[in-house]
Amino acid sequence: MPPLAAAASSLVDAPDSQINVTLNGSWRVVTDGVPDAYRMPPFRAQLSDAEIAQVLSYLRGAWGNSGGAVTAEAVGAMRAHTDPASSSPIVLQMR
């Protein structure tokens, strides 16, 4: 499992990457033909916007991370724009 302390996505001001991964999950990353061992299941159906905001706010403020709080409104906006059931979902590339 990748470390949560000093994770780049927990240090930047914009929480978009973390919200997207928490809502929609992530697939393995392949580098030089070798897939990494990490995957994240989607939690879109299991957690409310407020619950995701609370979890991510904790992660972004714990273990020396300084990314700041996440709002339920930000999660709701991302949920609406990345809905896989939509006829025109927006797909975000993780960096």
Range of the domain at 54: 8-81
- Tens-place pLDDT, residues 56-95: 999 999 988 888 999 999 999 999 888 777 766 565 555 5
pLDDT in tens, 20-34: 889 988 876 777 777
Task: Let me know if residue 41 belongs to a domain.
Answer: yes
Number of domains in the chain: 1
Cβ-contact 90, 31 below 8 angstroms: no
pLDDT score of 1 more than 90: no
Q: Is residue 94 part of a domain?
A: no
- The answer to whether residue 77 sits within a structural domain is yes
pTM of the model: 0.77
Q: Is residue 55 part of a domain?
A: yes
Full 3-state SS string of the chain: CCCCCCCHHHCCCCCHHHHHHHHHCECCCEECCEECCCCECCCCCCCCHHHHHHHHHHHHHCCCCCCCCCCHHHHHHHHHHCCCCCCCCCCCCCC
In a domain, 75, yes or no: yes
